[in-house]
Amino acid sequence: MRDQLQAMIDAGRDTPLARFTLGELLHRDGELDAALNHLAEAVAQDPSYSAAWKLYGRVLLEAERYQQAVDILARGVQVAQDNGDNQAAREMQVFAKRAAKQTG
């Protein structure tokens, strides 16, 4: 699946969903830096993609990039709230609190 998604992106059929899905698969395989690149592109292509913001923030937290996680999750919470996606907003708020604790 990863290879198919990458081939699709390379062929010019680059979509936020393809980037999100590839980021999710890379995250599951522990390839956090590669996952972060695709998730950053997903939210750049579709700034209203709540699920992408949530996973992006979560992977930053796991990668111990705490200040970045705080910043991304704050943006993600706002996006989710604007979309009426209250569950995603709450989850991101929890992740943001964890990240903020790590920044001191």
Q: What is the pLDDT of residues 30-88, one digit of tens each?
A: 999 999 999 999 999 999 999 999 999 999 999 999 999 999 999 999 999 999 999 99
Where do we find the tokens 């919470």? 77
CB of 47 closer than 8 Å to CB of 61? no
CATH numbers and ranges of domains, the chain: 2-103 (1.25.40.10)
Cα within 13 Å of Cα(91), Cβ side: 17
Q: What is the pTM of this model?
A: 0.95
DSSP class of residue 84?
T
pLDDT score recorded for residue 82: 97
31: how many CB neighbours lie within 10 A of its CB? 16
